[in-house]
Amino acid sequence: MVVDTHPLDSRGRRLAVVIPTLNDDAALARLLPILAHLELPPEHVIVVDGASSEATAALCSRAGCSHLPCRPGRGLQLRAGIDAARAAGAEILWMVHADCEPHPLAARAVRETIAAGASGGYFNFRFGGERSAFKRVLEICIAWRCRLSMVYGDQGIFVSRRAYDATPGMGPAPLFEEVPLVRALRRTRRFVSVPLPMVVSERRWRREGLLLRTARNRALALAFAAGVDAGTLERWYRASRARQSRS
């Protein structure tokens, strides 16, 4: 997926989207056309495939984007994709999960936010699917969490390459891989919220239940903040999902 020229190219800010996937072909098939039709779309789209799947590779080939096989693990995959984006000359790095849907103006907003001097930023979390009062309450709580503490990867974190190179980068951990990067960007005081939604698929939330998934996510975050190793937390997370799938 390549766009040769647009008004912001003269500023030398080529935009790369990095998408970590693991058997996410259905979600990826929805996301790639959305990215292609954004206003001022990315010059590079790099799908980092933790399953090294031929089906995912074929999907990427049809969409005209890069397919990068990688060992599974979101932190490892994001690191590999960011390295590939930097090698391709990208000046802005934008991390998007396969089950998310950016706003049509999101790519323009990323470019303009970095051009205005921000080190990086993120979008407002919004649930997909039918709207409800409980979803709106959770979205408000997530917005406050972002203001007061941590931003997570499903909010479309983006960063200038220069700012990224001055941070520890994306951690290799299988969970909370974005924490070192976000903490470093917050210290710049130029890590900003973009007032556009990043719509997150409710598929996993609906399967597990909004309340249960929220409680589990908070428990994992608190355990991580208390010093529990991310690898241990991932094993707990997978065991919890396995028990739920059997019930």
- Total residue count of the chain as it appears in this document: 247
Backbone angles phi, psi at 174, to 5 degrees: -75, -20
The whole-number pLDDT of residue 227 equals 87
Sequence letter at residue 134: F
For domain 9-201, give the fold: Spore Coat Polysaccharide Biosynthesis Protein SpsA; Chain A (3.90.550)
Task: Output the pTM of the full model.
Answer: 0.90
- Is the sign of the CA dihedral 112, 105, 137, 216 positive or negative? negative
Instruction: Give tens-digit pLDDT for 161-215.
Output: 999 999 998 878 888 889 999 999 999 999 999 999 999 988 777 777 888 888 8
| Annotated domain spans of the chain | 9-201, 203-247
| % of the chain at pLDDT higher than 70 | 92
H helices within 47-91, ranges in order? 54-63, 74-87
CB distance 114 to 13 below 8 Å: yes
* The two structure tokens encoding residue 186: 């917050």
Instruction: Give tens-digit pLDDT for 120-132.
Output: 999 999 999 899 9
Which residues does the chain have with pLDDT short of 50? 1-11
Contacts of 61 (CB under 8 A, 6+ apart): 67
- Alpha-carbon Rg for the chain, nearest whole angstrom, is 17
HSE value, Cβ hemisphere, 13 Å, CA-based, for 216: 17
CB distance 124 to 143 below 8 Å: yes
Helices (H) and strands (E) in the chain, counts: 10, 8
Distance CA 11, CA 178 (A): 27
Sequence letter at residue 72: P
Contacts of 104 (CB under 8 A, 6+ apart): 37, 38, 39
